[in-house]
Amino acid sequence: MQLTRSPLFRPRHPRPLRLGGQNYDLATRALVMGVLNRTTDSFFDHGEYFELDRFFARAEQLVKDGADMLDVGGVKAGPGPEVTEAEELDRVVPAIASLHERFEVPLSVDTWRASVAAASFAAGAVLGNDISGFADPDYLAVAAAAGASVVATHIRLSPRVPDPEPHYDDVVAEVERFLTERAERALACGIPPERVILDAGLDLGKTAAQSLRLLQQSSRLASLGYPLLLSASNKTFLGVLLDLGIGERAEASLAAAAIGIAGGCRLVRVHDVARTCRVRDILAAIMESAPPPKSAAAYELETAPAPEVG
């Protein structure tokens, strides 16, 4: 009897993650990262939290809902009006400094500019979430000097550049190679492995089918040995499945988080922190209580008919 073992709940355990001065054991419990946008044109909240009073109220709610960390961004990933370096600094750095004073959770800065990352690290951020794949040649050096952690994200072109017809011969293999090379680049710049995170970059230069394939293969990417970040919340590829508008993707986002966590993602970047934490917690309970998988031989022995006696 030939059996295939499901990768769900059995990904390779990543090494502990270090954020600032804190170590996190990610063997069975994923960290939930709450999205905080200081943008006027975010694809999801459309600038709802741009004003600082609403921004801080949102941050307080995310922490109350159970966010393990907060990710602050001042420029959206997709095409839109130019945001200068000075504008991004003005949007992000004072906000991070105030969050650092108000809350004890780790802070991440969502930027691909080394200058913004450096100022954010000085203001209290401990993670640089760079969706460009370290396109800025100074990014890794800045993070290393600050003792910060980094996210290496796969993207085909560049942030804010339309990529309507991306082609890959094998999207999983190409993303795997890209992320491996970026992780090695971070190590070469002096960032220790416990401070490196990988992100497949769903929707970043991928069709819906390509993003779905990468989500399905989370366990393969998690086996690279670094914590894997899933950023799927409310994204386009989820909407394509059932023709869902931006405001209709809550259930799809939770389903994606569940599949990602079960497949080995150990950080999930989301808008709905409260419900994602509940999904994470029930999955952690299941994974902690699940018995070790049986071998095919043991399964066959257990299910074989009892021998006849006499």
pLDDT at 256: 97
Nearest to 88 by CA among 119, 123, 121, 56: 119
pLDDT at 175: 98
Q: Is residue 230 part of a domain?
A: yes
Average per-residue pLDDT in the chain? 89
Q: How far apart are CA 208 and CA 244, in angstroms?
A: 13
Q: Is residue 13 part of a domain?
A: no
Token pair in block for residue 221:
């990417």
Q: Is residue 109 part of a domain?
A: yes
The ranges of the chain with pLDDT < 70 are 1-14, 41-47, 289-310
Q: Which residues are catalytic?
A: 235, 269
Q: Is residue 188 part of a domain?
A: yes
Residues 230-261: b if buried by 16+ CB within 10 A, e if exposed: bbbbbbbbbbeeeebeeeebeebbbbbbbbbb
0.85 exceeded by pTM: yes
Q: Is residue 22 part of a domain?
A: no
Q: How far apart are CA 18 and CA 15, in angstroms?
A: 9
Residues 81-103: b if buried by 16+ CB within 10 A, e if exposed: eebeeeebbebbbebbbbbbeeb
Q: Specify the number of domains making up the chain.
A: 1
The answer to whether the beta carbons of residues 268 and 275 sit under 8 Å apart is no
Q: Is residue 15 part of a domain?
A: no
pLDDT at 289: 67
Nearest to 271 by CA among 30, 99, 32, 14: 32
Q: Is residue 6 part of a domain?
A: no
Nearest to 183 by CA among 217, 226, 223: 226
Q: How far apart are CA 270 and CA 112, in angstroms?
A: 19
Q: Is residue 180 part of a domain?
A: yes
**CATH code for the domain of 238:** 3.20.20.20
Which domain does 227 fall in, by range? 27-300
